[in-house]
Structure formats: C-alpha cells, structure tokens
Amino acid sequence: MHLTWTSQSPIAAGWYWWKGVDVDEGEIIEVFVQTREGESELRAWLARDERSFPLATIKGQFAGPLPYPVGEVQTDDSSVAEAD
C-alpha cells in the first residue's frame, strides 16, 4: 500500500501521517471523534504538543489512514537474551 500526501483533511477517525506547512518531516497523529453536548467534531491528537486540536484548525498535508496490521509475527524464544 502506497500513501500519498494530500492537503485534504481526513474525514474519518484513524492514524495518519501529517506534516505541517513549511515542514519537511511528517509525524503520526491520531484523528478521533469527540462528542460534547450532542455535537461531534473530528480532532487531532499531536503527541509533541500533548493535546488535541479541532482537525479543521490543523493545516498541512495528510496521508492515510494507516492500515491496522494483520497476522502475528512468530518469534523464536531462543533468540531473546535474558537480562541478569
């Protein structure tokens, strides 16, 4: 799956890549629905600011949503070193 940067804001909850205006590197944000007093709005959680913002106020480019992983990775316990 290839993601493409777009200036169109997400329309559904999920995890997205986001890069602000005049920023070269992206970061992963969580877009979620918040309902208060019967009104719902999409908000974005920005970990670097440790708070959420109304999605409509977040400018820049988005890519996503990121797909949820499927399957399970099999590990070989013998390759894990034990700490003393």
**Residue count (the chain):** 84
Q: Does residue 79 carry a pLDDT above 70?
A: no
Domain residue spans of the chain: 1-68
Prior bond of 10 cis (ω within 30°): no
Estimate to the nearest angstrom the gap between the alpha carbon of 18 and the chain centroid: 8
Phi/psi at 10 (5° precision)? -60, 150
Position 81 scores a pLDDT of: 56
Q: Does residue 84 carry a pLDDT above 70?
A: no
Give the tens place of pLDDT for each residue, 23-72. Answer: 889 999 999 999 999 999 999 999 888 999 999 999 999 999 998 888 88
> In this structure, what token pair is assigned to residue 20?
């602000």
> In this structure, what token pair is assigned to residue 54?
């109304």
Model pTM score: 0.77
